[in-house]
Amino acid sequence: MNYKNKKSLNFFKESESAIVHIKQIFGFGAILLIGAIYFYSIYIMLAPEQQNWFSYLSIAYFIPPFGKETIIPLGLWGGSIEFFGKIISGSSLPPIILGVSIWVYDALACVVILTNWWIIELLINHIPAFPFIGVRRKKPRVYKKKVSLKLWYENLHKKTREIEAKKYGKILPVALWVFMFVPFQGTGAISTTIIGTWLGLSYRKIFLIVAICSLLSILFITFAYLGILNVFG
């Protein structure tokens, strides 16, 4: 292949890649639009005293330390939260609206990360190797070497595929299932999607884990707190 043909082929590949990224950017906008339409459709269905409470809880859900384990009880029971130095109070929300909303937020957050992970990979591929200084445990001594994020990322994905190919290969998805289901701080859809994608699991598998475990977790917390309300209400 001569130089002109190589140059044309590279130009074609770059153009094709640019088109894909443009589509992904439009897809990102479409996902945000779907989320906005859903939020507004629920907002206008609620009573005036519930609308602000729903709005603040929806925003707070994406801000640590809030999560399912705090937003669902607040939504079901009503109460107050400190939001950027301001005390916000509200009355209880319908369980079905609260549960479906959190599930939709989880699903959309997962899709946003999966469809835009190419930005992270682009950064990884273009960050040059950098010097790293460490201490060896055997015969302790300081050493210096260059670390390549691109090589480390590729080796991590290779290791994941090797684990999946073995008999105990299901351990990674199962661990991610447990991680997503357990209602602790930092175990939500965003962190689960990032960990699964970073490890190199398939996008389909990651989305199923997030979608199913989010639903189960929401049902578990909702029924638990509805039971508490019935007992002490």
pLDDT tens by residue, 49-92: 899 999 999 998 988 778 888 899 889 888 777 777 778 788 88
DSSP character for 110? Answer: H
Give the count of domains, the chain: 1
Which residue segment(s) compose the domain that 200 sits in? 3-232
Cα 127 to the chain's mean position, in Å?
24
- Residue 164 near residue 172, CB atoms below 8 Å: yes
Question: What does the alpha-carbon distance between residue 75 and residue 5 come to, in Å, rounded to a whole number?
Answer: 62
Specify the pLDDT at position 170: 78
pLDDT category at 149 given cuts 50, 70, 90 is: confident
Residue found under tokens 């999607």: 193
Whole-structure pTM over 0.75, yes or no? yes
Dihedral angle, C-alpha 219, 220, 222, 223, nearest 10 °: 100
- Residue 32, C-beta contacts closer than 8 angstroms, at least 6 positions apart: 112
pLDDT tens by residue, 163-173: 778 766 678 88
11 has a pLDDT exceeding 50: no
Closest to 214 in 3D by CA, of 120, 104, 129, 111: 104
How many Cα atoms sit within 13 Å of 47 on the Cβ side? Answer: 7
